[in-house]
Amino acid sequence: MAGNSFGEVFRVTTFGESHGDGVGAVIDGCPPWISLSPGDFVRDMARRRPGRDSLVTPRSEEDRVEILSGVFEDLTTGAPITLFIRNRDVDARPYEILRRLFRPGHGDYTYFKKYGHFDFRGGGRYSARETAARVAAGVVAGKILEPLGVKVVAYTLELGGIRAGCIDLDLIDKSPFYCPDPVSSQRMEEAVSNTRKEGDSLGGIAEIRVIGCPAGLGEPAFDKLDADLAKAVMSVGTVKGIEIGAGFEAARFKGSKNNDPITPSGFGSNRAGGILGGISNGDEILLRAAMKPIPSISQEQDTVDREGHPAKMSFTGRQDIAPIPRVIPVLEAMVKIVLADHYLRSKTILKEEPIESSIFAKTPIW
Amino acid sequence: MAGNSFGEVFRVTTFGESHGDGVGAVIDGCPPWISLSPGDFVRDMARRRPGRDSLVTPRSEEDRVEILSGVFEDLTTGAPITLFIRNRDVDARPYEILRRLFRPGHGDYTYFKKYGHFDFRGGGRYSARETAARVAAGVVAGKILEPLGVKVVAYTLELGGIRAGCIDLDLIDKSPFYCPDPVSSQRMEEAVSNTRKEGDSLGGIAEIRVIGCPAGLGEPAFDKLDADLAKAVMSVGTVKGIEIGAGFEAARFKGSKNNDPITPSGFGSNRAGGILGGISNGDEILLRAAMKPIPSISQEQDTVDREGHPAKMSFTGRQDIAPIPRVIPVLEAMVKIVLADHYLRSKTILKEEPIESSIFAKTPIW
Amino acid sequence: MAGNSFGEVFRVTTFGESHGDGVGAVIDGCPPWISLSPGDFVRDMARRRPGRDSLVTPRSEEDRVEILSGVFEDLTTGAPITLFIRNRDVDARPYEILRRLFRPGHGDYTYFKKYGHFDFRGGGRYSARETAARVAAGVVAGKILEPLGVKVVAYTLELGGIRAGCIDLDLIDKSPFYCPDPVSSQRMEEAVSNTRKEGDSLGGIAEIRVIGCPAGLGEPAFDKLDADLAKAVMSVGTVKGIEIGAGFEAARFKGSKNNDPITPSGFGSNRAGGILGGISNGDEILLRAAMKPIPSISQEQDTVDREGHPAKMSFTGRQDIAPIPRVIPVLEAMVKIVLADHYLRSKTILKEEPIESSIFAKTPIW
Amino acid sequence: MAGNSFGEVFRVTTFGESHGDGVGAVIDGCPPWISLSPGDFVRDMARRRPGRDSLVTPRSEEDRVEILSGVFEDLTTGAPITLFIRNRDVDARPYEILRRLFRPGHGDYTYFKKYGHFDFRGGGRYSARETAARVAAGVVAGKILEPLGVKVVAYTLELGGIRAGCIDLDLIDKSPFYCPDPVSSQRMEEAVSNTRKEGDSLGGIAEIRVIGCPAGLGEPAFDKLDADLAKAVMSVGTVKGIEIGAGFEAARFKGSKNNDPITPSGFGSNRAGGILGGISNGDEILLRAAMKPIPSISQEQDTVDREGHPAKMSFTGRQDIAPIPRVIPVLEAMVKIVLADHYLRSKTILKEEPIESSIFAKTPIW
């Protein structure tokens, strides 16, 4: 109801604020017997952590995941798994100005209208800090997908208008921006550096691929796989647009071009982005997310105070210049959570022996 | 779990197939005392019905909504409301070929993989026929929004690559394509006509505006208003892309341009599309949906049969050329359902007298 | 939220009123490939139908179940199944008095306080008529349990203070009261007859047994199998008390007596009623439900009108004398729905090969 | 799905194990502006804590509740509230025997069948330790009910067959067993002492009263207030029976006796236990819970080991003799959670001005 949970069988509830004790997640519905230990979280938490690229954000965080429940002797037990990430290095001083003023582009004003208050210490609940809990939960989701051979990879397609010219998945981790094209990555670095000097910020586009997803995940009506992916990704604060497969381009194709031909060896193209009728078709799932620039900028902006009087504000706290690269592991996590959930959901359909009938055929293809 | 329900408080469950008895919806959580009678559904059902524009689809349907429960003496009672729309004129003959072959671009293959069967009579559950139930449910949602002054308007921004040059909301209903620009509407008509002759189909882009939405709807984490709108709209089969406010363009803006300034009289621009931090900000909500071309075309396409052998197929059933215009009222309905649900959800927050404290301020603005 | 749905994976939503078009249920999450046709419902609908024993209620209903969706060629497809039972023989005249007066023991007053109205035509939504939809849904649940060898049997343990002296499950269907003891059944018949003459009504106790339930159904914390059974059974309007296994008697046992010994061939007794720690233990599940007497009686009772003025009323509509026997198939249905749901839920736990560890043992017992 | 959450609007998710880091709860949907600080939990946590009466259990726990999220400056913010109670003094040595043997009357065997393992350290997730989290969540629920004047009181009606002869609510807290009759309390003390010497254990019956509950809480069909209360109370591990109002006695009443007359000043009796048609009627809500004796006893019992071989076991860990008195605040907590949830749910029904019609009347009574 209050919307802090996601998923049906694999159900993640996040909690915590940017300047409180910490952030965390309770995962209910994770099967037992899955190996899980604090070390499993290190890589993704580090990828989300700022400071990896010194150009992007100077804030230093050490995001160690504590497992408070649900794991015994490094195996999940079937009980709810609680992950907790303590806040450190939380200097709320730059946020003092928020006691009076609403930041343009932030949720300060809408929180104030909804709850009658907002947390002046950097956003509180709606801070991007909450996504640390999502990344941690995504690691657990990944443990369910791994034995199935499902791999989720996100990377930067575009940053500040600079688009990757080629896509080599092996190069992603070599780029501070998770950009699969080294040349573009270099140009992105310059763009970020210049934008920082201007006191401004940048947006970008990420692309996410799911490799090895089995056919049959997703539900026909409202919980289509693409619908749940769209919600998952759009629930990341910075995202303003989503595409599946050909996306907006499909709107300009004719049917004869947009339809992926079916051949004995698989689909002849992948404009569908791996999903047909809301259900995965066994091909690569492909989606893109457009992200707005970080709203906190040091340039002076027009705003009002809590009484509605006009004011000027410029933000001096340590901030990212772009949601990229930190959002990349968050997007991966959300996609993994959707897939793990739909995979477990798919198990509730009984596999009885098919009966011969006009609509029920016995022979599977591929 | 099986995904045929949507919404938390205002909860819509759809049921039915394209060639069975009919399609319908059960709405649980609709408050009592709302006037509702079969006549309320006529306009939207007619707008969704094909044949309005003879160019688009020749199939004739008469979609009368029966109210099977939840209404007494033309008032809702608080009990679940059941709406039922009988199928008529269901000629399954053109679909005989589906007993053997998977249609490219359709869910035939994915249903087959998921359930071990597919309904050869025109898609069954995943037919666009299911959206008739959504439109009916949207009418009830609209009855909750109306007294609040909330209005949802969708229109065609683009069809077959032809984009509306201007937007005059008053002209929407004058166009067979719900296009707010008469000149473009005329060109769309020609494009549809030509495409029909080619045995092909077209996609398009719809824009949806919510006028008069109060600030404060939406939940901070996963059930952000934009996340739920994205899911709602993406759950319409034909949609492959979604944008909120500036959408993909925002990815190329700098923060200083993308941030909407806050002034004593409201926001100075609306790149956010009416939503900040996942919560409505009182401004117009603006979203766009990209739709792929109708996959059933009469041109010959490559496919396989249920045993995986290559085959050719061309579809001869009566079909739309484009999802537009019929999808327009469906999109409106989904957005209305999301808003009605979030409006009722917002009522669970107690309105106690605010207490004076550093984060809690008394004076609301605007 | 509005509480008209039950179950997580096998999810039943009921709708309809006693004097409207009919009552029905949408079942979401039923797996495909299950044979289902209108004939499957005949037995249980007849058992619930009044008039079976002319002594109990003279109202004649013909409860034919229509399958409006989710079934094709007598097989479930995985799509939501809609069952509809039209109301017939609905004479609302005896209920005219309800326009003014609240019936003691009924929900008239509480509905009025909650919704600002009540349906004067025999209760509307809170009429026992709604249970027809539950019985229909229970038939579908039974179809999932049947291949597992799970059998649910309810019978009358007590009616009007007369308790079955012996329990012979084979005799249940021979008794008009589903009483497993023919002698007691005869005495119940006399008690009902006498009570009818007095213009009064009777309550009773039903016992429900689940035979063949596999171990492992139920969830540890809130959704314990006994907790969900308690809710399911208590949600039947007439029920005021529930016991699992030894029930209230267990409160007076010592631990040494109440604990069921574990032996190589199974449990040595069944005071637990087949459930330990909220999870089925493979033994027979045993529960009892206490039902209040039917509140509508022809004796004169004190009440008030809608303005709060004192009044006398005696009810002259056709009514049952006791909830028994009609409630028996309703209780069976609710138990079957809980079991089918928990069975499908249990499938979401991955069965990986157990790993050797101090808490994880390889060898299963029994 | 995995059942660790309870409630729809006020949604409590518990986590943690008896011998892990601790137990806790995440509460989603709690409104903002409610004062909450660690001190609020002290009384109820102390009442649940063993050792209060040295006769009952010697285990010493210090249950301090940490608020990890959702509260700022001692006010709830509307964000999820996380409560955490660290485990201390966890000596797992007495549980070593559980590596091999299943305890009769416990969930060891059913957990083993469900998950392929059980936590040999005192039950893990299904330990009564989990109820500490419920008591903490109940304190928050109580904060919502308090301003409404709703008070929930539980007490011991019976322990080891000794029944309270009179009920004086003011004396409850004076008794180590929360027994409202001092004479019976003294006898209970002796019974517990004797039973301890026998190496055995006792069960009991608790009664719970809700004073000041407004009319109108509860939903008509499955989520009846009594159904949700039944589930809530039955989900406490030790409970084997539930009664609302007259309970099992109602099964032996005639309708003329069981119906509570309605008078201009209220109901003339309260056999309904404050609930009619599943909705609170404004009268006192009355329910009773029967609890089995604690299964862990030091007397020798028959069991089997994990390979199914017969074995003898006697339990030597520190254990309660009876679920009473510790379960009393747990029952109160569960009832408070149900009421807070249904209260918030009731707010989603719009209060429009009633329209004059035959079923809708304007004048409320009382």
A277 touches chain C (CB under 8 A): no
C2 contact B CB<8A: yes
Of D34, D73, D79, the CB nearest to B357: D73
Dihedral (CA of B306, B308, B312, B318) sign: positive
* Residue D340 confidence (pLDDT) above 80: yes
How distant is the Cα of B190 from the closest Cα of chain D, in angstroms? 48
Amino acid identity at D85: I
Q: What is the pLDDT of residues A182-224, one digit of tens each?
A: 999 999 999 999 999 999 999 999 999 999 999 999 999 999 9
The separation between CA D313 and the C-alpha centre of its own chain, rounded to angstroms, equals: 30
Cβ–Cβ gap B102/A293 under 8 Å: no
| Paired residues of A302 in beta bridges | A312
Q: Give the minimum alpha-carbon distance from C29 to chain A in angstroms, rounded to a whole number.
A: 8
Name the residue facing D255 among C105, C112, C240 (closest C-beta). C105
CB contact residues (below 8 A), chain D span 303-322, against chain B: none
Closest CA to D142 of D317, D366, D343, D327: D343
In the structure encoding, which two tokens stand for residue A351, read together? Answer: 């596999």
User: Model confidence at B4, in pLDDT bands (50, 70, 90)?
Assistant: very high
Q: Give me the pLDDT at residue D258, please.
A: 98
Give strand pairing partners of B244: B287
Mean pLDDT for the stretch of residues A24-31: 97
From residue C10, alpha-carbon distances to B153, C329, C345 in Å are 37, 19, 8
Q: Is it the case that residue D322 has pLDDT exceeding 70?
A: yes
Q: How far is CA A236 from CA A60, A131, A239, in A?
A: 22, 8, 6
CB proximity B349 to D under 8 Å? yes
Rounded-to-integer distance, Cα B334 and Cα B6, Å: 10
Distance from the C324 Cα atom to the nearest Cα atom in chain B, whole angstroms? 26
Of B114, B241, B358, the CB nearest to A247: B241
Per-residue pLDDT at C268 = 95
pLDDT for the residue numbered B364: 41
Minimum mean pLDDT range among A230-234, C38-42, D127-131, D161-165 = D127-131
Q: Evaluate if residue D302 carries a pLDDT over 90.
A: yes
Mean pLDDT, residues C188-212: 97
Q: Please give the average per-residue pLDDT across A317-339, as a whole number.
A: 93
State residue B318's pLDDT score: 66
Q: Read off the pLDDT of each residue in D273-299 and give the average, rounded to a whole number.
A: 96
* Cβ contact B241:A251 at 8 Å: yes
Q: Give pLDDT, residue B90.
A: 65
Average per-residue pLDDT in chain D? 90
Query: Could you read off the pLDDT of D48-84 as tens digits, one per residue?
Result: 876 554 444 444 457 899 999 999 989 999 999 999 9
In terms of CA atoms, which chain C residue is nearest residue B9? C1
Rounded mean pLDDT, D136-153: 97
Residues of C in contact with D106 (CB under 8 A): 276-277
Give percent above pLDDT 90 in chain B: 77
Contact flag A77-D14 (C-beta cutoff 8 Å): no
**SS3 category, D255:** helix
Give ∠ CA D177-D23-C364 in degrees, rounded to 5. Answer: 100
- Residue D253: CB atoms within 10 A of its CB come to 21
Interface touch C223/D3, C-beta < 8 Å: yes
pLDDT of residue B93: 67
| pLDDT grade for C88, boundaries at 50, 70 and 90 | confident
Furthest-apart CA atoms within chain D: distance in Å: 74
D312: exposed, middle or buried (C-beta count within 10 Å: 0-12, 13-18, 19+)?
A: exposed
CB contact under 8 Å between B301 and A261, yes or no, is: yes
Q: Dump pLDDT digits (tens) for D39-49.
A: 999 999 999 87
**pLDDT value at D95 more than 90:** no
The verdict on a CB contact (< 8 Å) between D253 and C292 is: yes
Please give the pLDDT value at position B358: 37
Question: Is D72 in CB contact (< 8 Å) with chain B?
Answer: yes
Burial B78-102 (b: 16+ CB within 10 A, else e): bbbbbbbbbbeebeeeebebbebbb
Residue contact A304–B230, C-beta within 8 A: no
Inter-CA distances, D286 with A30, A251, B115, D184, Å: 38, 62, 48, 21
Q: Can you read off the two tokens belonging to residue B91?
A: 């000629």
**pLDDT for residue B50:** 66
Tell me the HSE value of D357 on the side-chain side, using a 13 A CA sphere. Answer: 19
Q: Which A residues in the span 236-255 are in contact with D, Cβ-Cβ below 8 Å?
A: none
Q: What is the pLDDT, as a whole number, of residue D123?
A: 66
pLDDT per position as a tens digit, B249-282? 999 999 999 999 999 989 999 999 999 999 999 9
Nearest CA in chain B to D34: B352
Residue D325 predicted with pLDDT over 70 = yes
Each residue of C99-154: pLDDT tens digit?
889 999 999 999 888 988 766 666 688 888 999 999 999 999 999 999 999 999 99
Selected residues 121-180 of chain B with any CB under 8 Å from a CB in chain A: 125-126, 130, 158, 160-161
pLDDT score at C325: 95
- Taking a C-beta distance cutoff of 8 angstroms, is the pair D91, D319 a contact? no
What's the pLDDT at B361? 40
- The yes-or-no verdict on residue D327 having pLDDT over 50 is yes
Q: Any CB–CB contact under 8 A between A356 and chain B?
A: no
Of D216, D246, D145, residue with least CA distance to D366: D216
Evaluate the omega torsion of the peptide bond into residue C58 and state whether it is cis, within 30 degrees of 0.
no
Instruction: Name the token pair of B360.
Output: 């809690």
Chains that touch B (3 or more CB pairs under 8 A): A, C, D
Q: Which amino acid is at D297?
A: I
Contacts of A64 (CB under 8 A, 6+ apart): A38, A41, A45, A85, A86
Question: Is C69 in the A-facing interface, judged by CB distances under 8 Å?
Answer: no
Q: Which of D4, D32, D124 sits opposite A28 (nearest CB)?
A: D4
Looking at residue B88, its pLDDT comes to: 82
What pLDDT was estimated at residue A333? 98
pLDDT at C362: 40
Whether B144 contacts B49, CB under 8 Å: no
Count Cβ–Cβ pairs < 8 Å, chain B vs chain D.
Answer: 71
Q: Which of C14, C78, C125 sits opposite B77 (nearest CB)?
A: C125
Please state which of the ranges A301-315, B106-120, B216-230, D350-364 shows the lowest mean pLDDT: D350-364
> Token pair of A221, please?
């009506």
Say if B26 is an interface residue toward chain D (CB within 8 Å): no
- Is D115 or A258 the better-scoring residue by pLDDT? A258
Site from A350, A351, A358, A360 to mutate, C interface, most C CB atoms within 10 angstroms: A350
With an 8 Å Cβ cutoff, is A32 touching chain D? yes
Chain D partners (3+ C-beta pairs within 8 A): A, B, C
Label residue D308 by pLDDT band (50, 70, 90): confident
Average pLDDT, chain A: 90
Predicted local confidence at residue B316, as pLDDT: 75
In whole angstroms, give the CA distance from residue B180 to residue B185. Answer: 8
pLDDT (tens digit per residue) in B200-216: 999 999 999 999 999 99
Report pLDDT for D362.
Answer: 40
Best to test chain C binding among D6, D292, D345, D362 (most C CBs inside 10 Å):
D292
- Mutate which of B72, B76, B99, B140 to test chain C, going by most C C-beta atoms within 10 A? B72
The total of other beta-carbon atoms located within 10 Å of residue C20's CB is: 25
Q: How far apart (Å, rounded) are the C-alpha atoms in residues A146 and A40?
A: 13
**Residue carrying structure tokens 């249940």:** C172
DSSP annotation string for A186-225 = HHHHHHHHHHHHHT--B-EEEEEEEESPPTT-S-SSSS-H
| B31, B220, B360: residue with CB nearest D75 | B360
User: A153: pLDDT confidence band, cut at 50, 70 and 90?
Assistant: very high
Distance CA D18, CA D122 (A): 7
Can you tell me the distance from the alpha carbon of C359 to that of D119, in angstroms, rounded to the nearest whole number?
Answer: 6
Q: How far is CA A276 from the centre of its chain?
A: 22
Q: Is the peptide bond before A293 cis (omega within 30 degrees of 0)?
A: no
Report the alpha-carbon distance of residue B177 to residue B179 in Å, rounded: 5
**Using only C-alpha atoms, what is the Rg of chain B?**
22
Helices A327-346 & A225-234 angle (0-180, nearest 10)? 150
Which residue of chain A is at minimal alpha-carbon distance from D25? A26
Q: What is the DSSP letter of B351?
A: -
Strands C11-16 and C22-28: antiparallel
Average pLDDT rounded to a whole number, residues D289-311? 94
Record the tokens describing residue B151, joined without a space.
Answer: 């209005």
Q: What is the pLDDT of residue D150?
A: 97
Distance (Å) of CA C64 to CA B87, B307, C77, C83, C139: 21, 40, 22, 10, 13
- Read off the pTM: 0.95
pLDDT score at D57 = 47
Q: D285 vs A171, A300, D153, CA distance in Å?
A: 66, 60, 10
| Residues from chain C contacting residue A32 (CB–CB below 8 Å) | 349-350
- In this prediction, residues C323-345 reach a mean pLDDT of 97
pLDDT in tens, B160-203: 999 999 999 999 999 999 999 999 999 999 999 999 999 999 99
* Residue (of B201, B175, B167) closest to B57 by Cα position: B201
Q: What's the ipTM?
A: 0.94
Least confident of A64-73, A308-317, C260-269, D259-268: A308-317
Question: Inter-chain contact A222–B6, Cβ cutoff 8 Å?
Answer: yes
